[in-house]
Amino acid sequence: MSLDASDVEKIAHLARLAIAPGQTERYAADLSNILDLVAQMDAVETAEVTPMAHPLHMAQRLRPDEPSEPNQRDLFQANAPLAESGLFLVPRVIE
Amino acid sequence: MQNKSIAQLAADLRLRTYSSVELTKHYLERIKRLDPALNSFITLAEESALAAAERADQALKAGDAGPLTGIPIAHKDIFCTKGLRTSCGSRMLDNFVAPYDATVVEKLAAAGAVVLGKTNMDEFAMGSSNETSYYGPVRNPWNQDLVPGGSSGGSAAAVAARLCAAATATDTGGSIRQPAALCGITGIKPTYGRCSRWGMIAFASSLDQAGVMARSAADAAFMLDEMAGFDRRDSTSADVPVPDYVDALDDDIKGLRIGLPKEYFGEGLDPHVARAVQEAIDEYQRLGAEVVDISLPNSPLSVPVYYVVAPAECSSNLARFDGVRYGHRCDDPKDLEDLYKRSRAEGFGAEVQRRIMIGTYVLSAGYYDAYYLKAQKIRQLIADDFKRAFEQVDVIMGPTSPTTAFPLGAKMDDPVAMYLNDIYTIATNLAGLPGMSIPVAPVEGMPVGLQIIGNYFEEARLLNVAHRLQHATHWHQAAPEGFE
């Protein structure tokens, strides 16, 4: 499987990563090598195999939908790069 | 003091041979003097360590102390620690101070352990050499031109260099066992779900598991006794009773059936490493164990499967780093998309970005069946191989890593070569099984690890099997020159 620079640009956009134009060729080569490694999977016949959902076949636990944590907004926002009056600040999104 | 076992330290603390404050100061002095050469710590917690040591001394005086009370340890910097920076080895979290403690951190604190600091690691635990850390590589205490392994390279080097009595670590594809092997210490990755993942920064949620780095199986048992157990805050935590790991250490291993998978002794394994591993297996036979040849036919596919499953989960988990709520944010974003894209590109290193892109690609429209679904099917086949093997044997043994430690920089330009370091460890994570690495005879002065894999929730047996070898041999007692 071989990816080119334009594939990397598409993937980087989906992943929201700003890849510098000078780096796309290098990433294309690295990602292609990794996908070549992954291609070893193609040799295995898996039509009849059930895919693993959980290594120990455990079911996801459920709990009542009730609040269990106290409100700690100010504490959590102390790590925010930019916050004001309890709000996270981002560039304008609505003109 | 730094060469004593946890049991000896605990006994000395009870006899007031020295106090926990004195022991903590001793380790802090060693870290300041010796760690500049290794770079095994990202953050030191001198003040809070001494305060915890004082509390431990009071508990010891009051006769209210457990086996870990006053014992100085370190946490891999992937575990959230309240009030103490948690970087995960990334520029993204360089300024992140967690508002809460991880369950594992909380449990060890409740047991009275003293936290000396946070250890270096590959960025977001993605790496096998500790060279992807934003804080620089860790050097192997046995030879500082060589890597310590990864991703828990800081915890491994710190324990090997006697800079802490033991350390926490995590293992997604070999990140406890491979660095333990390369640094000559004992590491255990428990069964998936055995230790809580709450507060442990997520890389690949179906594979990640917390565990221990220590100088012996007995020391690891004291740590795991406190760390293991059900946690309602982790939705994948296993609600399975935890036995007493220390109690089981001395059980007899006569008649133990050891499976040797032929796939773990084939091409690619350094013949010197193979000999060292064989020497340890011979010792087990002298101790009364039987050897059975087995096969794990799908295990050679574990690396390809892992490099679909782990990046897929990583791309999803790391989507939370958006430059808005916490973590790195770029300067002067022109709009929201620019804020996301540049914050992430600046905050993540090259290996993390590679894995996010692979994960994004394999999960993108039209590729899901060919990659992720296919990988989860082969993952089931790999788990089935182990299931069949454990019908015949009690434990599986082989090398932890195909070679001893390699030079810094040797594999940084070739991601696939780096990934193949974990060829013997990854299958265990894919199946969710517990695994250990313990030191055996060195090769040209460099440590070699014997890997021991057990059936689900058989950590007690693994620690017992490791302890019996350490009781009969002295390989685990060797210390790197300059750090004795």
pLDDT band at B228 (very low <50, low <70, confident <90, very high): very high
Residue of B87, B175, B196, B237 marked catalytic? B175
Burial of B415 (0-12, 13-18, 19+ CB in 10 A): buried
Cβ–Cβ under 8 Å, residues B217 and B470 = yes
- Backbone torsions φ then ψ of B464, nearest 5 degrees: -60, -50
Number of domains in chain A: 1
Instruction: For residue B279, tell me if it sits in a domain.
Output: no
Within 8 A of B427 by CB-CB distance, chain A residues are: none
How far, in Å, CA of A75 to CA of B326, rounded?
12
pLDDT at B99: 94
Instruction: For residue A15, tell me if it sits in a domain.
Output: yes
pLDDT at A43: 95
How far, in Å, CA of A51 to CA of A64, rounded?
29
pLDDT at B271: 97
Tell me which chain A residue has its CA closest to the CA of residue B307: A38
User: Are residues A44 and B381, on separate chains, in Cβ contact within 8 Å?
Assistant: yes
Q: pTM of whole model > 0.80?
A: yes
pLDDT one-digit tens code per residue, B395-415: 999 999 999 999 999 999 999
Instruction: For residue B141, tell me if it sits in a domain.
Output: yes
Instruction: For residue A51, tell me if it sits in a domain.
Output: no
What SS3 state is found at B245?
coil
Q: Which of B371, B366, B263 is nearest to B310 (CA)?
A: B371
Q: Which among A12, A37, A56 has CB closest to B307?
A: A37
Q: Which of B415, B409, B401 is nearest to B446 (CA)?
A: B401
Tell me which chain A residue has its CA closest to the CA of residue B298: A44
Q: Residue B249 is part of a domain; what is its CATH number? A: 3.90.1300.10
Structure tokens at B68: 């870990």
Q: Which among B99, B431, B456 has CB closest to A72?
A: B99
Which one of B205, B361, B385, B423 would you mutate to disrupt binding with A, by most A Cβ within 10 Å of its Cβ? B361
B227 vs A60, more confident: B227
Cβ–Cβ under 8 Å, residues B26 and B1 = yes
Instruction: For residue B266, tell me if it sits in a domain.
Output: no
How many angstroms separate the CA of residue A74 from the nearest CA in chain B? 10
Write out chain A's pLDDT in tens, 95 residues: 689 999 999 999 999 999 998 999 999 999 999 999 999 999 999 999 999 998 888 888 888 899 888 999 999 999 999 999 999 999 998 87
Q: Residue A27 is part of a domain; what is its CATH number? A: 1.10.20
Kindly indicate whether the ipTM for this predicted assembly is greater than 0.85, answering yes or no.
yes
Q: Which among B96, B364, B416 has CB closest to A79?
A: B96
Number of domains in chain B: 2
How far, in Å, CA of B442 to CA of B277, rounded?
10
Instruction: For residue B350, tell me if it sits in a domain.
Output: yes
Within 8 A of B236 by CB-CB distance, chain A residues are: 54, 58, 60
pLDDT at A62: 86
Cβ–Cβ under 8 Å, residues B166 and B185 = no
Structure tokens at B161: 């260099």
pLDDT one-digit tens code per residue, B46-105: 999 999 999 999 999 999 999 999 999 999 999 999 999 999 999 999 999 999 999 999
Instruction: For residue A13, tell me if it sits in a domain.
Output: yes
Q: Which domain holds residue A19?
A: 5-43
pLDDT band at B141 (very low <50, low <70, confident <90, very high): very high
Active site residue B175: yes
Q: Which of residues 19-48 of A touch B (CB under 8 A)?
A: 19-20, 27, 30-31, 33-41, 44, 46
Distances (CA, A) of B357 to A36, B173, B292, B311, B333: 15, 19, 42, 8, 22
